[in-house]
Chain A
Amino acid sequence: NAGVTQTPKFRILKIGQSMTLQCTQDMNHNYMYWYRQDPGMGLKLIYYSVGAGITDKGEVPNGYNVSRSTTEDFPLRLELAAPSQTSVYFCASSYVGTDEKLFFGSGTQLSVL
């Protein structure tokens, strides 16, 4: 039972480079989320999706883009990496959007130097 799978686990980027963080879930969940976790801080929501073709901004969307072409996949795109985007990124999913627990991936540790 794979659950939520994120790739890569680690990545170092140079300032200005771009990359895509991949997220796939095999639970047929409608809702998917991207969070970032900075040291000593709680998780902050970047973007979320309530179904294929529908995405919306979270609390900290600047510098990121997302797409949701299928139920399973929810990639996060960084276009021009900046040091402020150094963080641990978590993808999560849930079957419904309210009072339902989130299933998290194991995270991507990203450093921008």
Chain B
Amino acid sequence: AQSVTQLDSQVPVFEEAPVELRCNYSSSVSVYLFWYVQYPNQGLQLLLKYLSGSTLVKGINGFEAEFNKSQTSFHLRKPSVHISDTAEYFCAVSPSNFGNEKLTFGTGTRLTIIP
């Protein structure tokens, strides 16, 4: 079984400042990694995913994440945040030889942008 840890439950950031949301995972097999975003009163939307290949993954809205196998991390970054980035962000992991039914979500990080 795999697990996901998002250590920061809340992250306040000033507008136009950079941000990093941390995600660490644990798994005994190779994994796929995902970041989803949930805007207020909406369902989750995929930001980006890592399946294989380049460890730096670029997603929508200027976000990117880097897969670090040795540190079992998949941190999400954005160089300059906007008010519209206020949302909850979920990291998720699934074993690469199973389907989405094995997808495990983290507890989420609430990103608040301060004007």
Contact = CB atoms under 8 A, between A and B. Distances in A.
Given A106-B41, A106-B43, A42 B90 contact: yes
B43 to A, nearest CB: 3
Nearest to A43: B105
B55 interface: no
Contact of A42 (B45, B46, B100, B107): B107
Nearest to B32: A99
A41 B98 CA distance: 23
A94 interface: yes
Contact of A101 (B49, B90, B99, B101): B49
A31 B100 contact: yes
B104 interface: yes
Nearest to A58: B101
Range of interface residues on B (Cβ < 8 Å): 20 to 34
A102 B100 CA distance: 8
Contact of A99 (B51, B90, B105, B108): B51
A27 to B, nearest CB: 14
Given A43-B90, A94-B100, A106 B42 contact: yes
Contacts of A42: 4, 90, 92, 104-108
Interface of B: 4, 9, 32, 34, 36, 41-46, 49, 51, 90, 92, 94, 96, 98-101, 103-108
